[in-house]
Chains A and B, each alone.
Chain A
């Protein structure tokens, strides 16, 4: 394994998944973040696609391996397996389509059923550039995110609004959790979250999916 490592220059590798209804803009969020690219003519995602990008956190290089999943409901039968090992998730809805927001709850359950309890989740309202078509108010979404203990941000992949911030915030939070954990345990900090470990970051109430000790389910 070490041989492979040498080719890649990073300190941490974090797996982040993009979920949410079909057509909310997951693939364009991914292409905006990893390639600074947006396509009006994007094609439907079949199964799963991935891309990577490295960012700097403190003096460490964090490499994000981002998985983009198909949005159609039946694809959950095969994509749920892809959540394995994810330490972060962007749960995307379309601010112009109410039904995509209504389904957020189901996606959240799906995520929590299939991932480690420590996963960092951010609720993302995409297509914020379509102001005249907005169907979900920022306040409603923010309230939901607070209740569910997730981060929240509104983005526009088209206008490159907040896309960088959304991913960076999730990755930085994962980094904080992992490095703090590593410090406490005196572990090699290059390993990702040990499965089943509870981590208390403390300080902020809205830190998502970081369970208090003793709390083991959503």
Chain B
């Protein structure tokens, strides 16, 4: 049963990816139907004290697929669809590895113009993403470039925002490129961080205001000290949230992505 649930999850994700080939669709509608595409929605019908926990477990399971080193959970048509979509996004300027698969999706011409705007920023940030990490050699950086470019074309309203490079880089260290794109980058950023990284970064600002209020309430002495120093809570915490806690917690802990997801899921659910 659980395997079937997982498959359902991927299929919705794959289709979601395919739908996204239309660049002019409304992004805001996506963020409002988050839970419907999640298997946790099934689980939610059973009363749970921590609904976000189940969702977190599903997400963590997603990530672990890649590290299991197989695409067996993503067999057949759906897997191909994600890969085709990924390649079609990259095919426009020859970034893709396999250009043979550009049949159905030809709509990447329009977002191509928009993506140029953040191309320069992506180039600047490639060497500044986990600098010195052995896995991010020339090949690794090329993969990161492809991943970020594909996302910028997939979601032109967000494009590329600094901080996404760390998340994408981390995914590449954990799973194959197509999985990183199809399952995780799209899944997590579209559903949980869409307006975090948009031009106005609205959700990021809202979350920081809310957090500041909570901290003010729970840790008045600390806030008093920060006020004295003229430092807003958000100045300290915004980078944590924006980078999904990557770079903030030790690599070895392996907990940072889980921790980051905890935060975003708690807010979303």
Least CB distance, A206 to chain B, in whole angstroms: 28
Does residue A74 face the partner (Cβ distance < 8 Å to B)? yes
Q: How far is the CA of A32 from the CA of B199 in the complex (A)?
A: 31
Q: Mark A69-103, 1 if CB is under 8 A from B, else 0.
A: 01010110110011011000000000000000000
User: Given B124, B228, B243, which contacts A1 in the complex, CB threshold below 8 Å?
Assistant: B228
Does residue B170 face the partner (Cβ distance < 8 Å to A)? no
A85 close to B230 (CB less than 8 A) = yes
Does residue B121 face the partner (Cβ distance < 8 Å to A)? yes
Contacts of A72 in B (CB 8 A): 121, 161-162
Contacts of B165 in A (CB 8 A): 44
Q: How far is the CA of A22 from the CA of B162 in the complex (A)?
A: 10
A44 close to B205 (CB less than 8 A) = no
Does residue B130 face the partner (Cβ distance < 8 Å to A)? yes
Q: Mark A43-72, 1 if CB is under 8 A from B, else 0.
A: 111111110000000000000010100101
Q: How far is the CA of A85 from the CA of B226 in the complex (A)?
A: 14
Least CB distance, B208 to chain A, in whole angstroms: 8
Contact residues, A6-59 vs B (CB, 8 A): 13, 15, 22-23, 41-50
Contacts of A13 in B (CB 8 A): 229
Q: Mark B13-41, 1 if CB is under 8 A from A, else 0.
A: 00000000000000000000000000000
Q: Which residue of A lies closest to B161 (CB)?
A: A74
Q: Which residue of A lies closest to B201 (CB)?
A: A77
Q: Which residue of B lies closest to A67 (CB)?
A: B235
User: Given B132, B198, B229, B242, which contacts A41 in the complex, CB threshold below 8 Å?
Assistant: B132
Q: How far is the CA of A1 from the CA of B204 in the complex (A)?
A: 31
By the criterion of a CB under 8 Å from any partner CB, how many residues of chain A are at the interface?
Answer: 28
Contacts of B231 in A (CB 8 A): 50
Q: How far is the CA of A41 from the CA of B125 in the complex (A)?
A: 11
Q: Mark B111-131, 1 if CB is under 8 A from A, else 0.
A: 000000000010011011111
Least CB distance, B119 to chain A, in whole angstroms: 13
Q: Mark A84-127, 1 if CB is under 8 A from B, else 0.
A: 11000000000000000000000000000000000000000000
Does residue B163 face the partner (Cβ distance < 8 Å to A)? yes
Contacts of B234 in A (CB 8 A): 78, 81
Q: How far is the CA of A23 from the CA of B162 in the complex (A)?
A: 12
Q: How far is the CA of A49 from the CA of B237 in the complex (A)?
A: 10
Q: Mark B224-250, 1 if CB is under 8 A from A, else 0.
A: 110011111011001100110001000
Least CB distance, B204 to chain A, in whole angstroms: 6
B229 close to A43 (CB less than 8 A) = no
Contact residues, B128-153 vs A (CB, 8 A): 128-132
List 5 contacting pairs A-B, 8 Å CB cutoff, sorted by A.
A44-B165, A46-B243, A47-B238, A47-B239, A65-B229
